[in-house]
Each structure stands twice: as structure tokens, then as C-alpha cells.
Amino acid sequence: MELKLGDARAIVVEILTSRGMPADYAGMVADHLVDGSLVGDEHFGLPRAIGLVEVLDKRPPAKRVAVIREDSNSAVIDGCDNNGFVTSVIGVDKAIELARKSGVGIVGVRNTWFSGRLAYYVERAARQDLVAFHTASATARVAPYGGIDPVYGTNPMAFGFPGQDGPLIVDIGTSAATWGEMLHRRNSGRALDPEMAVDRLGHPTEDAAAGLAGAILPWGGARGGGLALVVQILGLLAGGKPIVKQLGEYGFFFLVFDPEMLMPIDEFKARSAELLEAVRASRPGQDFERVRIQGEASAARRAQGLARGTIVIGDKDYAALQALRRNR
């Protein structure tokens, strides 16, 4: 079914505020989830509010997020056990503020958990003609390269660059599958891809339930394992735990800088546009109609949804959200 954007946002805000979340924080979460539905992300759209409430109902009310240290180009933020949809907006906005003043903003966020689509946060900076890099360490569910025990989180990273036709956003995970995808495959009965996970004994498995009980493997073998380690260390630097065993131990790292420190922004955008056109004009490989730029499909879906003024949500998910509104 289709929901008007304002109605979709209001549903999430109502559900979260009824669980004790401040209205401004609930609005941050709702904006993220509505945008997730707009870009067609099945894991981080409006239905994600259902899982979020399941966690909130088991935790005491969180305090307001606090900046505990700040200087001219860096800050440390205590998330005070608020979820990452809230703390990451506050974190990247602080990095943007610092970059506006000094050219560079570096921010670490600690005492927080699950933050959704990293692309959402770096895009906030890129739309203000700033370059952004963001990483998030998470619950240990991924084995290091060559191992079988979960040590790393799924540990995504995202980059955002300003562009002539809108931001260029690259958002990638360092694991062969996200936790949400593993759950989705288990619930739908869909088999895992080869080299995606191992079971408790370390045997390769295509059974999602066995993979959830064992460990997800790094994406790209040693390369993905190396990047996962980098994200884990940056999360540690941000104040997260070396190995994240429970919610609240995540570490979010933000680096935002002004490209004008290196060249005029218009020149940078022109050069970037030239590069992107060369990429699009390059010959596609077998089984590909054309060469695409990362993030273009999501941006197109968002534009279509904004033009309609609606998002699409499954009937079962809508019924579940309505049940949450009734059961406060």
C-alpha cells in the first residue's frame, strides 16, 4: 500500500514518543526511515521501526545526547544510550559545524547503538558542499579473514562528495552480508550465497539459520577483512568497545572537511562530473546493459517517491505498525 510522506513520518513519531522518546529525537528517526523507504531499502525503511521498538521496550529511557569534549576541529559525543539514528545525525551535524569553522571536523560518538544507512549521514554533509567519511563498528557477528569466530561487526563505511547533479554517495559493508539480510534470508527460506557464512563449527553453510548461529564472513576475503579491521579500530578510537558484545558499545567515526582547502568547489565539481561521465561512457561488461554510478538508482527512486508524495509499504508491515500505535 501507499502512504503519504507526512502520514508515514507521523506514524513513526507517534510510536516512538509513546515509548518515551523525545519528539525531536523521534523526528530524526522518522526522517531516516521515511527516506529509507523512498530509496527502496527494504532493511532500513519504515518497517524498521518495528524492530526498533522491540529494543526500546527492553531498555530504560535514555538521557539527552551530550558533547563531552570539543575543540576547534574535533568533538567527542556521549550518545547516552540513544540509538544511532539520533546520535549519528547529531554527530555528523557537529562535524559539519566544525568543518565550516576550521575546514575539518572529526567526531567520535560512543555509548550508542544501531544507526541504519550510513549513506544518510554523509549525504547531509555532501549537500552542504563538504566531503564526508563515516564508519560504524557494531555487534560482533563477522569472523576475521581466515577465522570462524565472530569478532568484527558488519562494520559499514560511507563516503559523500558534493557534485554538480547532487551528491555522490558510496556506502559499503565490509561483511559478505548484513545482519538484516541474514535475518531476511532465514525468514524467507532463501539460501545464502557461497562464502557468505559459516556455522558454529566453522563449516561453510548456505543455511541462514546456521550462519546466524555461526559467523558471517568478510566481504572480498582478505580485502574485506582488512577494511573491517580498520572500521573496528576507528570505532575503538571513537569510544566503542574493542569487541562489541552488546548494544550501547558501538563506536561511530565521522570525518568531514571542506574541499575548498584543496581546490575551488566549482572546479572540484566539474572535474568530478568529467570523471563520472567517463565512467558512464565506458563499455559495459557481459550481462550489463550499461555502467552505473553507485547511488544513482537510489537517488532516482527517491526522486520518484518525492514526486508522488508517497512511499510504498507492505500490508503486513503496515498492520504491524498500526498495532504498535494501539499497544502503547
How far, in Å, CA of 24 to CA of 94, rounded? 16
Report the number of distinct structural domains present in the chain.
2
Q: According to DSSP H, which parts of the chain are helical? A: 5-17, 23-39, 48-56, 84-102, 118-126, 179-188, 208-213, 222-238, 265-281, 296-308, 315-326
Task: Please say whether the beta carbons of 207 and 192 come within 8 A.
Answer: yes
Same domain as 84, residue 165 = yes
Same domain as 271, residue 309 = no
What value does the mean pLDDT take over residues 69-90?
A: 97
Q: Is pLDDT of 240 > 90?
A: yes
Same domain as 169, residue 132 = yes
Same domain as 250, residue 232 = yes
Task: Please say whether the beta carbons of 128 and 265 come within 8 A.
Answer: no
In eight-state DSSP terms, residue 190 is: P
Any domain includes 323: yes
With cut-offs at 50, 70 and 90, classify the pLDDT of residue 261.
Answer: very high
Any domain includes 83: yes
pLDDT tens track for 168-204: 999 999 999 988 789 878 988 999 999 999 999 999 9
Task: Please say whether the beta carbons of 160 and 122 come within 8 A.
Answer: yes
Any domain includes 85: yes
Q: What residue type is assigned to position 83 of the chain? A: N
Same domain as 263, residue 234 = yes
pLDDT tens track for 2-43: 999 999 999 999 999 999 999 999 999 999 999 999 999 877
pTM to 2 decimal places: 0.95
Any domain includes 182: no
Any domain includes 242: yes
Same domain as 73, residue 51 = no
128 burial class (0-12, 13-18, 19+ CB within 10 angstroms)?
middle
Same domain as 165, residue 43 = no
Query: Where in the sequence is the domain holding 45, given as residue range(s)?
Result: 1-61+295-328
Task: Please say whether the beta carbons of 141 and 244 come within 8 A.
Answer: no
pLDDT tens track for 94-144: 999 999 999 999 999 999 999 999 999 999 999 999 999 999 999 999 999
How far, in Å, CA of 144 to CA of 222, rounded? 8
Any domain includes 148: yes
Same domain as 327, residue 235 = no
With cut-offs at 50, 70 and 90, classify the pLDDT of residue 328.
Answer: low
How far, in Å, CA of 302 to CA of 308, rounded? 10
Strand duo 131-136 + 310-312: pairing: unpaired
Same domain as 247, residue 137 = yes
Same domain as 302, residue 267 = no
CATH number for the domain spanning 228: value is 3.30.1370.60
The answer to whether the Cα torsion of 123, 128, 130, 135 is positive or negative is: negative
Same domain as 223, residue 150 = yes
Any domain includes 46: yes
Measured CA to CA in angstroms, residue 79 lies from 29, 268, 317 at distances of: 14, 35, 29
Polymer length in residues for the chain: 328
Of 194, 196, 189, the closest CA to residue 173 belongs to 196
Same domain as 56, residue 82 = no
| 271 Cβ contact list (under 8 Å, min separation 6) | none
Any domain includes 289: no
With cut-offs at 50, 70 and 90, classify the pLDDT of residue 299.
Answer: very high
